[in-house]
Amino acid sequence: LTEDEDIQRMLRGSLLRKIKSRGGPRERLFRLQEDGATVCVEGGFRRARAQQSFSVMHIEGVREGHQSEGLRKYGAAFPARHCFTLVFKGKRKNLDLAARGEEDARHWVQGLTKLMRRLQAMSQTEKLDQYPFWIHGVLQRADRNKDNKMSFREVKSMLRMINIDMDDVYAYKLFKECDRSGNERLEGWELEEFCRRLLRRPELEELFGHYSGEDHVLSAEELRDFLRDQGEDASLHQARTIIRTYELNETARQQDLMMLDGFMMYLLSAAGDILNQEHTKVHQDMSQPLCHYFISSSHNTYLTHNQIGGTSSTEAYVRALMAGCRCVELDCWEGSDGEPVVYHGHTLTSKILFRDVIESIRDYAFKVSPGTGAGCWVPVPGAERCPSCPQQSPYPVILSLENHCGLEQQATMARHMKAILGDMLLTEPLEGQDPHHLPSPEQLKGKVLVKGKKLPEPWQEPQGVTSLSEPEEEEEEEEEEKLQERSSRQVSGSPMGSPDTAWLLQAKDASQVAPELSAVVVYCQAVPFPGLAHALHHPRPCEMSSFSERKARKLIKEAG
């Protein structure tokens, strides 16, 4: 890849602006390191020579243009073609960037994408070959005063760089054990020993010692015995194949022997995984009715932090969908200018527009990163979560609406869903579908379903606005009571005279359902639970009920 034009530009470095909510855009020099896996960010920090860095391995995706909440809010001054977003794995925040020109942005987007694919395709041996270059670069950046020695503070910085979240007491214990000179600095072989101890797996060493005996070397016969003890029908030929694939020492490999490092390489590889590799792709029967599956669901999806005063964000929906969730929650409340908002009512959490949430769901409902299986619809029999899958998850997404809006803004919600989601939104029962059975995930591929309250059909009651009970609030009752009590304590004594105090109350007609919103609820009709006996004798497949945990425990106890 070093001959690649995009990689060459990244190795030379580019001035990119970091777009943040606080303060103006800050220009930094971003440069790819020689290891091809680390990007250094230079300049503008408290110390003149200070650097920050991140690993390409920690990037989950690259988005071009204004495709993040941050860039949509704060990047309007920069052309979309100059902008891109790095989405990191785990809880790390997105990095929104703007290049000086379109060409620079394109080089970084294309180059990072190529490096991510290359690193993902690397074998363990290739990754091991990269390790010395990578760790050397990390050590250089962590050594702040460039004296080739590492204080404990610098060691903690190194641990953060390599994404190791270690208890300070334990880290210092290792540090002191390796500091043979006693000068509170690690250098040379002391530092090498510290890194080696980080990689130790005592339980695997013990296992290796048990099977290898006094010579601490596994023969092909001993490896076969180990495999058979794990329940595998292993032959001597299979054991030799494993040794030739994973053993790092060439001399040992030629003699069909395995050392500890090779043994650990095998156990920590995909081949040594307890998971059946056939299950890394969708292998379940996806043609059963919808209610035959455990569905990966998200509660209070919009929150990025705590549910009292945390931040609401469309990025939270993106992350949930990318993680494989197929059911996300929208708590909908009256907003200003006739626009419904999503947030945790009766709290100080921030608000986001319902419209923006639906746009994010449209863009990411059927995209998942590798590692999330059927997305994840898991059949009840032999339930098992798929750990990886193709880039696209076609299985349906359910929008669980907790509605606190009045009739007018309910109609607005329905209009937004129809306009933004288009054909993705299911608004009619599937043609030819037996009304006594729910359709399957296979039949609902690519569809977005709305879960909410529905007006009675014309033959049941006169059509029009109807007041319905609040089934989905049942599961919220205990939580809301606690939240209201806590938030009232927090805001007491605060100036609350602004128009924004409307967040304390839901719309007066929120207990009613607008015909427009009712019309988009098809297979997931929220109803009060009629009781187990009634539900069993009068099954209605399109109806569903929610329970508080207290109610669920009560039902289990009384009628389990």
Q: Catalytic residues, which ones?
A: 299, 344
Q: How far is CA 106 from CA 14, 25, 99, in A?
A: 12, 20, 9
Alpha-carbon gap, residue 152 to 191, rounded angstroms: 11
Neighbours of 43 (CB within 10 A): 15
Phi, psi of 245 (to 5 degrees): -85, -40
- Beta pairing, strands 448-452 & 524-526: parallel
Distance between start and end Cα atoms, the chain: 61
Q: How far is CA 46 from CA 41, 49, 50, 146, in A?
A: 13, 9, 7, 17
Neighbours of 404 (CB within 10 A): 21
Q: Which residues of 465-521 form beta strands (DSSP E)? A: 466-467, 512-513
Q: Enter the tokens of residue 333.
A: 């409340």
> Which residues are bridge partners to 134 per DSSP?
none
Q: Which residues, at least 6 apart from 417, have a Cβ–Cβ distance to it below 8 Å?
A: 358, 399, 425, 448, 450, 520
Neighbours of 27 (CB within 10 A): 13
